[in-house]
């Protein structure tokens, strides 16, 4: 789907909701609707926003630093700079465009900016409408072109993993391996990691989001690597847990249980099944074996332009999965003092099942 078609859908939605215009500031939403790929470098920094009127041409509002990039990437939009800041530009632009009701993304707008917006809106008689998930709703379902790009991001991530895997050895530290993963990603053409790489050795693998440090990788102990990269704007995310040398019985038992839960969930994914039902299938298998409390996070999440997006595969999400969604399936068991096992693959939801995007099987079936 082209940016113009996506924008057209948002405009139809705005007209239905009787909103005259929408300010899109969330970076992935911005990119999805315009092709403009700049990132925001911190919660208080913005590289611009889209102003989408319910009728008429959308505009990309940004500042001098991003002018050339904006014009090149969002080539079908007019780019307007705000040398005096966004509020000052909106003060002129909203009345010109006859926007009397302005939607903004409430989950991606700082309170301090919303206050400024409110002062300005009151001055020019504009009503502000906080919105949630308007663009995210479209991003939920990937078209085949997006799926191809995600597939490529997964494939490159696996190439990086395979290369790094060959150089793993007892005695190296978590931090060294994380650095090697991230430099290999860049060398092989990734834009960047899609999140902070996790390399967790031994008992550190009991921390689902462990930060790689000076801990030394030992034989016969769990080693968890969770890594992902961004390629062409789209993300990948994969976890492998394994041991160097022969695993002991306890490791084998935990690992096989996690794998069984993962395979059962994968077998259940198809259009029409609820996210909560898929989560429950994996969770029940782990709970029946007595490890319920050790699986404290949800089963998975959507992946696309963002590495964590909707739909969440969680007990709290009663919504049905639909064809074209891309999700991770990543059950885990975490035992303080011992370690943990998480196995994560990505799939595309299809009408009659799901399509596994991963080819890598390192250490999966023991
Ligand atoms: Zn992950
Ligand atoms: Zn994940």
Residue 343 near residue 330 (C-beta atoms within 8 A): yes
- 343 shares a domain with 239: yes
- 121 shares a domain with 86: yes
Ligand nearest to the CA of 327: 2
Q: How much is the average pLDDT of 200-220?
A: 95
Looking at the structure of the chain, the number of domains it has is: 2
- 175 shares a domain with 41: no
pLDDT tens for 146-203 read 999 999 999 999 999 999 999 999 999 999 999 999 999 999 999 999 999 999 999 9
Indicate whether 293 belongs to any domain: yes
- 342 shares a domain with 253: yes
- 154 shares a domain with 27: no
pLDDT tens for 228-273 read 999 999 999 999 999 999 999 999 999 999 999 999 999 999 999 9
Task: Give the residue numbers spanning the domain of 19.
Answer: 3-139
CA–centroid distance, 257 to ligand 1, in Å, is 19
Ligand nearest to the CA of 313: 2
Query: Which letter does DSSP use for residue 274 in this model?
Result: B
Residue ending a domain, among 139, 170, 188, is 139
Q: Is 47 helix (H, G, I), strand (E, B) or coil?
A: coil
* Alpha-carbon torsion, ordered 345, 302, 294, 204, to 10 deg: 70
Residue ending a domain, among 139, 155, 189, is 139
- 189 shares a domain with 65: no
CA–centroid distance, 340 to ligand 1, in Å, is 14
The pLDDT of residue 181:
98
Residue 279 near residue 209 (C-beta atoms within 8 A): no
pLDDT tens for 297-313 read 999 999 999 999 999 99
pLDDT tens for 16-63 read 999 999 999 999 999 999 999 999 988 889 999 999 999 999 999 999
Residue 40 near residue 62 (C-beta atoms within 8 A): no
CA–centroid distance, 82 to ligand 1, in Å, is 38
Distance CA 239, CA 363 (A): 11
For 292, other C-beta atoms within 10 Å of its C-beta total: 14
Mean pLDDT of the chain: 96
Residue ending a domain, among 104, 139, 174, is 139
- 166 shares a domain with 128: no
Asked if the model's pLDDT at residue 1 lies above 70, the reply is: no
Indicate whether 362 belongs to any domain: no
Q: What residues pack around ion ligand 1 (CB closer than 5 A)?
A: 226, 237, 239, 344
The CATH number for 295's domain is 3.90.230.10
Ligand nearest to the CA of 209: 1
């Amino acid at each position: 789907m082209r940016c113009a078609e996506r924008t057209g859908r948002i405009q139809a939605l705005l007209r239905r909701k009787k909103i005259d215009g929408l300010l899109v500031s969330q970076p992935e939403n911005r990119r999805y609707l315009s092709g403009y790929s700049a990132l925001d470098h911190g919660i208080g920094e913005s590289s611009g926003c889209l102003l989408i009127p319910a009728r008429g041409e959308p505009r990309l509002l940004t500042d001098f630093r991003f002018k050339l990039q904006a014009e090149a990437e969002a080539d079908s939009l007019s780019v307007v700079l705000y040398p005096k800041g966004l509020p000052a530009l909106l003060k002129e632009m909203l009345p010109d465009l006859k926007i009397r009701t302005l939607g903004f993304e409430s989950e991606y707008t700082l309170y301090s900016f919303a206050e400024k917006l409110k002062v300005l809106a009151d001055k020019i008689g504009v009503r502000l409408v906080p919105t949630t998930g308007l663009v995210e709703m479209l991003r939920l379902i990937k078209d085949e072109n997006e799926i191809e790009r995600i597939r490529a991001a997964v494939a490159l991530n696996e190439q990086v993993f395979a290369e790094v895997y060959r150089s793993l050895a007892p005695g190296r530290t978590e931090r060294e391996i994380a650095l090697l993963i991230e430099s290999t990603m860049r060398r092989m053409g990734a834009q960047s990691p899609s999140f902070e790489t996790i390399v967790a050795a031994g008992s550190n693998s009991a921390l689902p989001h462990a930060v790689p440090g000076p801990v030394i990788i030992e034989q016969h102990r769990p080693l968890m690597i969770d890594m992902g990269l961004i390629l062409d704007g789209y993300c990948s995310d994969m976890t492998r847990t394994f041991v160097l040398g022969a695993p002991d019985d306890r490791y084998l038992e935990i690992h096989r249980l996690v794998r069984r839960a993962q395979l059962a969930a994968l077998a259940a994914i198809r259009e029409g099944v609820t996210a909560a039902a898929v989560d429950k299938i994996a969770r029940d298998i782990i709970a029946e074996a007595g490890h319920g409390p050790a699986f404290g996070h949800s089963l998975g999440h959507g992946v696309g332009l963002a590495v964590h997006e909707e739909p969440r595969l969680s007990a709290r999400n009663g919504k049905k999965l639909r064809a074209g969604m891309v999700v991770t399936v990543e059950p885990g068991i975490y035992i303080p003092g011992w370690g943990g096992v998480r196995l994560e693959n990505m799939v595309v939801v299809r009408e009659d099942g799901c399509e596994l995007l991963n080819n890598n099987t390192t250490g999966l079936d023991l």
